[in-house]
């Protein structure tokens, strides 16, 4: 039976036939690897995801974390799944051998992680936060900090969090007020110790009993000599603040001054504890006095920069989460459509004839095709972005590395936001295919829809990414990032133009769309008023996003066209035809949507800018 | 403080300034009424909705109906709210005085009912199902049936349900298999009695203890002499099947043979019991033997026609439910945007300056304006449709009545489906305005989003309404319905063209869009293959829906333009400016979306039709 979590065939198509990850094994870092080791990791991920993650996805949703005697209680299956994942070495899959890792390429690692996310996004979150935390520290922490905090995280002994937001500071991180004051007492091996006080909101994985310790990465401000906090992002520093202070041997010891102030109860992603944490209120007194003990990471006032080191990758991670929820919803809808009998063909006038599987109805096929075009387009973009990470890190040629970094920077807001928008839409269509059954918790698709609705909100809202793309990524380095993307699209167009038939027509359509993007971008920057330029930044993000996904579909169509010519078995031919038909769907149904969007952008529309509060 | 349930100002604008419901008081049926009595009913509805419905909306969601000792338990606030509504006479607001009703016009009644729906859609459902049931029976039941079943429902003593679907027959009602066999025993006063057996799925309000009885309206088939069921819709008849068989005095007596087989657990609308009911399994033995006792309504084999008598109105009701969930979400988001402080204007470089209410950010205003344009456009369409019901029923001139019926028939799939699609989108934007808070159950908007997602599914799925519009409504009566709508739009365009400035430009834009719809409709019917014509029926529904809402916005803009010229107070001017700006938003941001949709339809696209199951 085909998995309803993810499609191995599609992953193989993207990884091997398109992105050629096998070629990475030529590079020293990946020299021990081969397609067999990649597939081995994917096999393991699929097995654990199927046996231990998917099996408690609904239970997790229906038995939300809750507090008993001051401790957060989760269903026991969460720990079992996480432990199995760590023990299989998958938590550290892309890390150095030296840290117990597998040194998998980022592209393969993302495909590995996709399995546990698709099977159970809420349980997977604990792993991902821990990984993001470890990656941040590996960039800037001292060797001692790496030894004491990162190694146990990569071994699955400690878990990690990211503590950025505060109740009064979400999108506007410059307004955080958590204070970090140098402690007279020295930390381990002479490390400077701080005492933190403040409230941190939306902390996923913020409190639980899943691991021996929780390593909080906390943004806070060091007051000046007069005790004042520096306004703005410049005042922000980064700290490690563990739930339990480590003893000299690195074992969790005294309880730190961090208190669970309340759990948030979400629409979806219910299995992930999410909470408000109070630091330094004095309920615990580590070292004999109030104040949460923390250790500075990197330089003071560089907190945001240090935290954002891992942002590109974390945002690809959000894009991947959104994508795979879309994929599993699509696979569930497809399975349902093939088995649910209802109605007859319009031409069939005899009601005594048996009912048909609903996949026979054109409108159901439209809904499945739309889902396929969204989720496989999104998956291509996410894996392409991961491939850029690999290029940026390990390409032998520095120019290639630089260029990959530029493309990655430009694409990141899209890789995060496009799947978050359109794979929720895919999940809505998966419900619609199920009819009334899809609206019930007796089936699975409504949970995917609820789980996925988080993705346009966290790791930067949709609006924030629009501003990032149009206000920053388009213009930095004199537009070199934007231009680099245009060149890449141009190359694909050139290759596509050589393929006979529909693919060449798509290439032409994409070429025209990108030229229009260039014109509109120039018009937006020619407006002479950044307020007006940025007024429709979200629309710009959406329009460019659609063009980028069209590019991803042209890339896939070129490969599928070649695959179809080469294929010997019916099953293989069907796979490639499906790819080509989904591409056709995207070019006929989706890409044309950008025409009115770009027309509106070209007019530097001020409808929202002109709207007054009093008129609502 | 402004209500976050609905806006009385907007209702007054639509009812009095636009739809001129006061003029209805010239008609004999409404002669006792006046703007004061209409407002009185709205005042009562607002008060009960605010005090008794809104107050348990979240509690209802969080304490789903469940079974204890074979009885369905609801939170007690449900019954208190329903009783208050009935006792205030609002359940029968539009019914004849003779049935204890108020004889309110349908337009006003829909506005009254909007209050309890917006405040608590799940609790309101019990009322609406009872009303729909009563309306169906008033059309076709015998005087005795009206006396015994309808009167107690309109008094709030009995509640009603509609039992159409079965587990194997949802959209395809022709496939129901519930059997109704004539009973040798006579019913009350010689009425023919039947015994029913079968399973009915998705029965909202199907089992509870809220009222003295539950009157199920059941579709079933009467077997022929050989015991065979007639295939197709022709075999379907309609029956009254009460939970408790009535005694000679009309009091609930013996328990009928209907058993709760299971509750469905929905994503939203959780407060409404929804269940699978088994009829005639023999657990109860009314009159000494198995089989659910039922009474035929109207003629045999006319069940679907009899049931569909109330469909137009029920579908307007679904459109209204979707709309008001959109409105309350919008009002919550607006209130939040005005009070939540976050960030600063782009030009403000000093992070020490205080944060602003987020309504000051253009992207937040865009999201609010989009919601306003969706929900107020939808509300206009729903009330316009209700106004057509009033014309159809009470206009003095028969030609006017006929024409109103034609317009209503054409618009019904749109009035049901457009709000169901776009007001879910509005609810998604309401979440987005709230950021992370909106994703939690500590706030209200996530529930609106979950509740609203039902509306594209029930009372005919989105796809079914697409087929109804393009496959039936467009072509019946040689296209007379379609033409009638075109004439109405043409009249509005003519009036709009006389208004100087933007409004005239909108009129021109609408005129062009409608002309394109006419061309595309001709192309679709010229395709010579109904399979191809209907392959994109959902897209047709969406494109025509957007044009219809643009028409509703032009109507509103014409009235608002006049209102603005007349207004003396700032507050009034602000209201009309808001209307005009929302209209501008719709014409600039929304209406252009139909251009690529109509282009695709004109090509008689076969992407979905050509897709093969094996290619997925």
Q: Do B174 and A593 touch (CB under 8 A)?
A: no
Is A537's Cβ below 8 Å from some Cβ in B? yes
List, for residues B560-581, the tens digit of each pLDDT value.
999 999 999 999 999 999 999 9
Residues of B in contact with A350 (CB under 8 A): 231
Residue (of A438, A130, A465) closest to A322 by Cα position = A465
A110/A94 Cα distance (integer angstroms): 9
Residues of B in contact with A62 (CB under 8 A): none
Is A208's Cβ below 8 Å from some Cβ in B? no
Closest residue, chain B, to A425 (C-alpha): B425
Gap from B448 CA to chain A (nearest CA, Å): 11
pLDDT computed for residue A177 by the predictor: 96
Is B177's Cβ below 8 Å from some Cβ in A? no
| Confidence band of B188 (pLDDT split at 50, 70, 90) | confident
Q: Judged by CB atoms within 8 Å, which residues 498-517 of B form the interface with A?
A: none
CA distances (Å), origin A273, targets A71, A123, A444, A470 = 12, 9, 21, 34
Q: What is the DSSP letter of A266?
A: B
Report, as an integer, the average pLDDT of A166-177.
92
Q: Judged by CB atoms within 8 Å, which residues 557-576 of B form the interface with A?
A: 570, 574-575
Q: Do A334 and B616 touch (CB under 8 A)?
A: yes
A515/A495 Cα distance (integer angstroms): 17
Q: Do B363 and A537 touch (CB under 8 A)?
A: yes
| Confidence band of B1 (pLDDT split at 50, 70, 90) | low
**Helix (H) or strand (E) segment spanning residue A293:** strand A292-297
Is A174's Cβ below 8 Å from some Cβ in B? yes
- Burial environment of residue B181 by CB neighbours within 10 A (0 to 12, 13 to 18, 19 or more): middle
DSSP A316-381: HHHHHHHHHHHHHHHHHHHHHHHH-B----TT---TTSPP-BGGGSHHHHHHHHHHHHHHHHHHHH
Question: Residue B577: which of A264, A338, A615 has the nearest Cβ?
Answer: A615
Angle CA B603–B609–B611, to nearest 5: 120
**Count of C-beta atoms within a 10 Å radius of residue B613:** 14
| Confidence band of B329 (pLDDT split at 50, 70, 90) | very high
Tabulate helix, strand, coil % of chain A (nearest 5). Answer: 60, 15, 25
Question: Residue A578: which of B347, B596, B615 has the nearest Cβ?
Answer: B615
- Residue ranges of domains in chain B: 8-119, 160-300, 310-459, 461-610
Report, as an integer, the average pLDDT of A599-612.
98
List, for residues B351-391, the tens digit of each pLDDT value.
889 999 999 999 999 999 999 999 999 999 999 999 999 99
pLDDT computed for residue A121 by the predictor: 98
Question: Residue A578: which of B170, B599, B616 has the nearest Cβ?
Answer: B616
pLDDT computed for residue B189 by the predictor: 80
Q: Do A334 and B439 touch (CB under 8 A)?
A: no
List, for residues B236-254, the tens digit of each pLDDT value.
999 999 999 999 999 999 9
Is A534's Cβ below 8 Å from some Cβ in B? yes
Residue (of A17, A18, A104, A586) closest to A390 by Cα position = A104
Candidate from A44-48, A312-316, B27-31, B145-149 with smallest mean pLDDT: A312-316
Pick the CATH number of B160-300 from 2.40.110.20, 3.20.170.30, 3.30.70.260, 3.30.430.20: 2.40.110.20
Is A532's Cβ below 8 Å from some Cβ in B? no
Gap from B614 CA to chain A (nearest CA, Å): 6
Gap from A352 CA to chain B (nearest CA, Å): 5
Residues of B in contact with A362 (CB under 8 A): 531, 534-535, 608-609
Its CATH class, for the domain covering B310-459, is mainly alpha
Residue A309 has pLDDT above 80, yes or no: no
Looking at chain B, the whole-number percentage of residues with pLDDT higher than 90 is: 93
Residue (of A284, A278, A160) closest to A214 by Cα position = A160
Q: Do residues A370 and A429 make contact, with C-beta atoms less than 8 angstroms apart?
A: yes
Residue A65 has pLDDT above 70, yes or no: yes
B524/B534 Cα distance (integer angstroms): 8
Gap from A389 CA to chain B (nearest CA, Å): 29
Residue (of A592, A596, A611) closest to B588 by Cα position = A596
Is A362's Cβ below 8 Å from some Cβ in B? yes
Angle between helices B594-602 and B537-566 (to 10 degrees): 150
Residue B313 has pLDDT above 70, yes or no: yes
List CB contacts of B362: < 8 A, sequence separation 6 or more. Answer: A531, A534, A535, A608, A609
Closest residue, chain A, to B579 (C-alpha): A615
List, for residues B29-84, the tens digit of each pLDDT value.
999 999 999 999 999 999 999 999 999 999 999 999 999 998 999 999 999 999 99
Residue A418 has pLDDT above 70, yes or no: yes
Residue (of A528, A523, A548, A526) closest to A600 by Cα position = A523
List, for residues A52-61, the tens digit of each pLDDT value.
999 999 999 9
Phi, psi angles (nearest 5°) of residue B310: -100, 10
Averaged confidence pLDDT in chain A: 96
Q: Judged by CB atoms within 8 Å, which residues 475-494 of A form the interface with B?
A: none
A187/A295 Cα distance (integer angstroms): 8
Residues of A in contact with B438 (CB under 8 A): 457
A403/A411 Cα distance (integer angstroms): 12
Residues of B in contact with A364 (CB under 8 A): 463
Gap from B56 CA to chain A (nearest CA, Å): 18
Report, as an integer, the average pLDDT of B479-487.
98
Angle between helices A35-48 and A76-87 (to 10 degrees): 170
pLDDT computed for residue B327 by the predictor: 98
pLDDT computed for residue B190 by the predictor: 81
Dihedral of CA atoms B601, B607, B613, B616 in degrees, nearest 10, equals: -120
Residue A346 has pLDDT above 90, yes or no: no
Residues of B in contact with A524 (CB under 8 A): none
Gap from A172 CA to chain B (nearest CA, Å): 5
pLDDT computed for residue B440 by the predictor: 97
Q: Do A431 and B438 touch (CB under 8 A)?
A: no
Dihedral of CA atoms A229, A232, A235, A236 in degrees, nearest 10, equals: 110
| Confidence band of B2 (pLDDT split at 50, 70, 90) | confident
Q: What is the DSSP letter of A488?
A: H
Residue A347 has pLDDT above 90, yes or no: no
B330/B318 Cα distance (integer angstroms): 18
DSSP B469-505: IIIIITTHHHHHHHHHHHHHHHHHHHHHHTSTTHHHH
Q: Do A531 and B347 touch (CB under 8 A)?
A: yes
Gap from B484 CA to chain A (nearest CA, Å): 27
List, for residues A15-52, the tens digit of each pLDDT value.
999 999 999 999 999 999 999 999 999 999 999 999 99
pTM for the model stands at 0.98
Question: Residue A616: which of B530, B578, B607 has the nearest Cβ?
Answer: B578
Considering only residues B475 and B192, tell me which one the structure prediction assigns the higher pLDDT: B475
B385/A90 Cα distance (integer angstroms): 59
pLDDT computed for residue A1 by the predictor: 66
Is A398's Cβ below 8 Å from some Cβ in B? no
Its CATH class, for the domain covering A159-301, is mainly beta
List CB contacts of B249: < 8 A, sequence separation 6 or more. Answer: none
Question: Residue A538: which of B363, B537, B600 has the nearest Cβ?
Answer: B363
Closest residue, chain B, to A450 (C-alpha): B450
A588/A577 Cα distance (integer angstroms): 16
Q: What is the DSSP letter of A469?
A: I
List, for residues B197-236, the tens digit of each pLDDT value.
999 999 999 999 999 999 999 999 999 989 999 898 888 9
Q: Do A436 and B458 touch (CB under 8 A)?
A: yes
Is A440's Cβ below 8 Å from some Cβ in B? yes
Q: Do residues B394 and A419 make contact, with C-beta atoms less than 8 angstroms apart?
A: no
Question: Residue B607: which of A351, A581, A596 has the nearest Cβ?
Answer: A581
Residue B348 has pLDDT above 90, yes or no: no
Is A359's Cβ below 8 Å from some Cβ in B? yes
């Amino acid at each position: 039976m085909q998995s309803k979590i993810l499609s191995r065939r599609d992953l193989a198509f993207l990884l091997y036939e398109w992105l050629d990850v096998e070629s990475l094994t030529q590079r020293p870092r990946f020299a021990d690897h081969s397609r067999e080791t990649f597939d081995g990791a994917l096999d393991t991920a699929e097995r654990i995801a199927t046996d231990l993650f998917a099996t408690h996805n609904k239970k997790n949703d229906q038995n939300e974390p809750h507090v008993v005697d001051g401790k957060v209680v989760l269903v026991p299956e969460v720990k079992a799944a996480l432990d199995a994942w760590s023990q299989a070495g998958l938590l550290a899959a892309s890390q150095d051998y030296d840290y117990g890792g597998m040194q998998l390429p980022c592209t393969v690692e993302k495909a590995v992680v996709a399995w546990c996310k698709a099977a159970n996004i809420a349980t997977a979150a604990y792993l991902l936060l821990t990984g993001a935390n470890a990656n941040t520290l590996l960039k800037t922490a001292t060797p001692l900090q790496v030894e004491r905090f990162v190694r146990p995280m990569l071994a699955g002994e400690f878990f990690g969090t990211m503590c950025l937001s505060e109740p009064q500071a979400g999108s506007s991180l410059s307004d955080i007020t958590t204070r970090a004051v140098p402690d007279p007492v020295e930390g381990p091996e002479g490390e400077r110790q701080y005492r933190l006080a403040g409230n941190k909101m939306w902390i996923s994985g913020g409190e639980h009993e899943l691991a021996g310790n929780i390593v909080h990465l906390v943004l806070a401000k060091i007051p000046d000599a007069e005790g004042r906090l520096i306004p703005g992002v410049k005042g922000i520093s980064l700290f490690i603040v563990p739930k339990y202070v480590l003893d000299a041997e690195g074992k969790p010891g005294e309880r730190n001054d961090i208190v669970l102030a309340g759990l948030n109860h979400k629409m979806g992603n219910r299995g992930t504890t999410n909470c408000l944490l109070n630091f330094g209120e004095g309920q615990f007194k580590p070292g004999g006095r109030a104040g949460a003990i923390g250790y500075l990471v990197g330089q003071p006032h560089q907190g945001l920069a240090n935290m954002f080191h891992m942002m590109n990758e974390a945002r690809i991670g959000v894009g991947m989460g959104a994508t795979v929820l879309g994929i599993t919803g699509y696979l569930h809808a497809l399975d349902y459509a093939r088995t649910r009998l209802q109605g007859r063909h319009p031409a069939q006038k005899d009601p005594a004839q048996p009912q048909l599987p609903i996949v026979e109805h054109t409108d159901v096929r439209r809904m499945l095709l739309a889902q396929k075009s969204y989720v496989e387009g999104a998956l291509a973009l996410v894996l392409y972005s991961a491939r850029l990470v690999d290029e940026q890190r390990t390409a032998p040629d520095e120019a290639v590395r630089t260029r990959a970094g530029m493309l990655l920077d430009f694409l990141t807001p899209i890789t995060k936001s496009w799947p978050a928008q359109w794979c929720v839409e895919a999940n809505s269509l998966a419900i619609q295919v199920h009819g009334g059954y899809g609206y019930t918790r007796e089936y699975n698709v409504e949970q995917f829809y609820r789980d996925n609705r988080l993705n346009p909100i966290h790791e930067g809202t949709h609006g924030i990414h629009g501003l990032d793309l149009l206000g920053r990524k388009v213009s930095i380095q004199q537009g070199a990032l934007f231009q680099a993307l245009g060149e890449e699209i141009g190359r694909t167009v050139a290759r596509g133009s050589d393929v006979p038939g529909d693919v060449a027509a798509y290439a032409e359509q994409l070429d025209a769309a990108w030229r229009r993007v260039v014109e509109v971008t120039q018009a937006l920057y020619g407006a002479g008023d950044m307020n007006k330029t940025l007024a429709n930044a979200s629309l710009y993000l959406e329009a460019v996003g659609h063009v980028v996904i069209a590019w991803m579909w042209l890339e896939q169509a070129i490969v599928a066209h070649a695959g179809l010519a080469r294929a010997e078995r019916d099953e293989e031919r069907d796979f490639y035809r499906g790819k080509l038909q989904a591409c056709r769907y995207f070019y006929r149904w989706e890409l044309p949507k950008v025409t009115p969007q770009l027309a509106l952008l070209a007019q530097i529309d001020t409808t929202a800018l002109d709207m007054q509060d009093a008129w609502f």
